[in-house]
Amino acid sequence: MEESLQVEVLWMNLCLLESLFRCLKRRVFLSQLAQLTGPLRIEASSTGSNSTISKIVNMVEDAQGREAPIQRLADTIAGPFVYSVMTLSAATFGFWYYIGSNIFPDVLLNDIAGPEGDPLLLSLKLAVDVLVVSCPCALGLATPTAILVGTSLGARQGLLIRGGDVLERLASVDHVMLDKTGTLTEGKPAVSAITSLGHEELEILQIAAAVEKTTSHPIAHAIISKAESLNLSIPVTRGQLAEPGSGTMAEVNGLLVAIGKLKWVQERFQQKTDLSDLMTLEQSVMHKSLQDSQSSNHSTTVVYVGREGEGVIGAIAISDKLREDAESTIRRLQHKGIETVLLSGDREEAVATVAKTVGIKDKFVNASLTPQQKSAAISGLQASGHRVAMVGDGINDAPSLALADVGIALQVEGQETAASNAASIILLGNRLSQVLEALDLAQATMAKVHQNLSWAVAYNAVAIPIAAGVLLPIFDFAMTPSLSGGLMAMSSIFVVSNSLLLQFHGSQKKRKENLTYKHTQKEQ
């Protein structure tokens, strides 16, 4: 008994020593790791179900479950088709048993009638052939298989498509409306110039940053970043008020300060700035901005700063570089016969400059628009019978994205925004050229749908009469049930295989583009 107790105590001591050794070893390892790489801090910002990748998976699954309108047409046809085939089968039996075998007695010599030339056997086999060879499955599979492949291929290309109905609408789009800031431009604006009327420029920037502190617009980020880079102390504000598409207002140091469009800022205060001073202010800020950025690939937006009791006291120029693929995307859209329209809340001069650079016609340029006016422009085109796609990235574009036939949102830095929530398609790559990729994919997918439906209709239109014995009196040819079953299976296999060929759409497109590029280089 004592020996067993001693063994147990010894065992416990050994276990304790092993634990202490492991702890010591772990502490040494962690201390070495800290010396090599520094402390490691991990913070979980959301649960797995709320993560970006989880939301993408859910959206793709939802998209593949949403029917395109053309699918509902196929489903509507498939129901009556089944009853029609059953009726044709009964009619085939009745015809050959009561009429056909008497009018065409030679058909009883065919092997299908058996060695004794039995009209009952002949009629039964032909009636069964009609039932077996008919293929409503091809009609039912024609659309969903193509939509499934199309949405999956889009997800691999960074195109998050919310459903087959979106692909069908996008394939027929004839007008593409584009926002300017963050869509045609990179959405990374920076302060390029500051001017004022009787105040220090740093004071203008300071109070502007205070007002914009609580907003999320790219222009606000540019102003705040500039103020922080100059180590300016940003005052605390009260009573923040934002009007989308116009500006923001708040109380700074006991006085109301407004920043935004000139007309909107002027209307906020009873004290008005002279028109001549405003013109001088605008010319000065634009001149300084042009000196800072000589490239024509920059878009300049001017926001005005006003203060209670003084009116407009300064202006800030915000420059944003055009996307590298903006001009080529617009040109290729126009080459496809799609009209490109520019909708912007910015002033006319800045919008006109961008439109000219990327190649949008003057008659399709709309400036100084509020979010409501953007939506009205889309509604006007839709009322005229046009299919409209809207491309945007910000909260001001959300109403237009929801109203358009197809809303396309560029996702910036993987963030979920009001624009991405309202859009039908999200461009995860944040590239404007993905609009073309989405359009090409939609057209290729719908082409596959039409091919599948055409095959399904043509197959049944040809196979059912042959199975019913149309060729039997003249060519002495009739199907057997086994042959009918094989043809029916082949019809479904063809539809599925044709849809799967859509996976090669991207590689075929790239090869064509490379060949076109090489041909252009040779000509040059």
CA distance 81 to 21: 78
The type of residue at 347 is R
Looking at the predicted structure, is the pLDDT value of residue 452 above 80? yes
3-state secondary structure at position 407: strand
Q: What dihedral do alpha carbons 445, 448, 452, 458 form, nearest 10°?
A: 140
pLDDT for position 279: 86
pLDDT for position 393: 84
3-state secondary structure at position 196: strand
Active-site hit among 62, 165, 174, 179: 179
Annotated catalytic residue 179: yes
End-to-end Cα distance, the chain? 100
Looking at the predicted structure, is the pLDDT value of residue 311 above 70? yes
How large is the average pLDDT for residues 413-421? 72
Confidence of residue 315 (pLDDT cuts 50, 70, 90): very high
Rg of the chain taking only CA atoms, in angstroms: 35
Identify which of 343, 384, 338 has the alpha carbon closest to the alpha carbon of residue 172: 338
Confidence of residue 292 (pLDDT cuts 50, 70, 90): low
The type of residue at 71 is Q
Structure token pair of residue 499: 């849809």
- Whether residue 479 contacts residue 467, with contact meaning beta carbons closer than 8 Å, is answered with yes
DSSP class of residue 113 equals G
DSSP class of residue 66 equals S
Looking at the predicted structure, is the pLDDT value of residue 261 above 80? yes
Structure token pair of residue 411: 């996702």
Range of lowest pLDDT (12-16, 200-204, 302-306, 473-477): 12-16
Beta strand pairing call for 190-196 and 311-321 = antiparallel
pTM above 0.85, yes or no: no
Question: If you count DSSP H runs as helices and E runs as strands, how many of each does the chain have, helices first?
Answer: 20, 13
Q: Which residues contact 426 (CB under 8 A, 6 or more apart)?
A: 159, 160, 408, 409, 411, 420
| Residue 430 neighbours by CB distance under 10 Å | 19
Encode pLDDT of 38-56 as tens digits. 455 666 666 665 555 565 5
pLDDT for position 442: 93
378-413 CB burial, b ≥16 within 10 A, e <16? beebeeeeebbbbbbbbbbbbbbbbbbbbbbbbbbe
Locate all alpha helices (DSSP H) within 66-100, ordered by sequence. Answer: 69-95
In terms of average pLDDT, the best of 103-107, 237-241, 343-347, 437-441 is: 437-441
